[in-house]
Amino acid sequence: MLEVDSELAAKVRQENIRMHNRDSRVYDMRHPYMRDKAFQESFQADLALMDSSLAHLEQVRVLDCGAGTGNLTLKFLDFGWRVTALDISGGMLEVLRAKVSNGGDRLETIEADAEEYLLRQESSFDVVAFGATLHHLPDYVAVLELACKALKPGGLLYITGEPALVEQVGPGEFRLLRLDEYLNVCYKMARRPQHILTVLGKLLNLSRRDEIDESLAEFHVDVGLDQDRCRAILEASGLTLLHFGSFGYFGFRLNRLLARLGRVELRSQFKLLARRD
């Protein structure tokens, strides 16, 4: 994992606040997984699995860490659960609150850093969920350990939409994914020629002084998260793995085409569900 001192950690958090506040109003439109049928259906299946494991509880209390504009939170609310939606970006939470039509009285939103919040939690939640959040955090290992402690006995940890380590994806698949990224950039430039200037600026390192450093905000995205290490942390914290899966990122066009033509899927993302004993 990337080494982080406190100064770098503060910058990573700051750039996340700036980037997500800037993008909050266009986030759903710009992120294809929010509309992707297969991704959303697979999440509904995971939710049903969680619900059956918690069926004995009268009220399920869930912490959605990095809740964003509510991709997971809104579905948890539809299940009748009580949700604490935590995010470091006030802008993202504002969009989430405006979208709630069902169960608003069961929703609490908290604008805070995940690590700082989790430090103060112990056996508090029946579910702790991370949807595409861990790769934004300075130290995802520390946060995972704290998340395990924040679970009540019998509680569930759910992670989805995290990029796997390059070595865990496989070099051939990784090259195809990179090619896919380039194709996506070309596609964007063909549709919006002004995008060429942004790309050229980035290549020539001509960024403005106040420009958001997205490589800090997306801190672990290029290297990925170590799935084996995540599983080892859960085991050491007394959790049992119930489900582990890898899947392709649906936003990429090549990925979609390959899946359609030959049922080949570039499995660059992972998800898991584990229960505290």
Ligand X SMILES: C[S@@+](CC[C@H](N)C(=O)[O-])C[C@H]1O[C@@H](n2cnc3c(N)ncnc32)[C@H](O)[C@@H]1O
Cα gap 94→29, rounded to integer Å: 16
Cβ distance to ligand X smaller for residue 89 or 255: 89
Q: Which of 131, 163, 224, 248 binds ligand X (CB under 6 A)?
A: 131
Site for ligand X, residues 84 to 103, rule: CB under 6 A: 86-89, 92
Helix, strand, or coil (residue 181): helix
Q: Is 114 in the site for ligand X (CB under 6 A)?
A: yes
Name the minimum Å distance from CB 26 to ligand X: 13
Task: Report the largest interatomic distance among the alpha carbons of the chain, rounded to a whole angstrom.
Answer: 58
Cβ distance to ligand X smaller for residue 32 or 170: 32
Encode 148-185: b = buried (16+ Cβ within 10 Å), e = exposed.
bbbbbeebbbbbbbbbbbbebbeeebbebbeebeeeee
Q: Is 13 in the site for ligand X (CB under 6 A)?
A: yes
Cβ distance to ligand X smaller for residue 78 or 235: 78
Cβ distance to ligand X smaller for residue 133 or 237: 133
Cβ distance to ligand X smaller for residue 175 or 243: 243
Name the minimum Å distance from CB 130 to ligand X: 7
Cα gap 142→253, rounded to integer Å: 34
| C-alpha dihedral (187, 190, 194, 198), degrees to nearest 10 | 30
Name the minimum Å distance from CB 80 to ligand X: 20
**Which residues, other chains included, contact 266 with Cβ-Cβ below 8 Å and sequence gap of 6+?**
169, 173, 176, 177, 180, 248, 249, 252, 254, 255, 258
Q: Is 271 in the site for ligand X (CB under 6 A)?
A: no
Helix, strand, or coil (residue 247): strand
Name the minimum Å distance from CB 217 to ligand X: 7
259 close to 251: Cβ distance less than 8 angstroms: no
Cα gap 11→6, rounded to integer Å: 9
- Ranked by CB distance to ligand X, the top (closest) residue is 68
Q: Write each residue from 50 to 79 as x if it is in contact with ligand X (CB under 6 A), else as -, in one continuous string.
A: ----------------xxx--xx-------
Binding site for ligand X (CB under 6 A): 13, 16, 20, 66-68, 71-72, 86-89, 92, 113-114, 131-133, 136-137
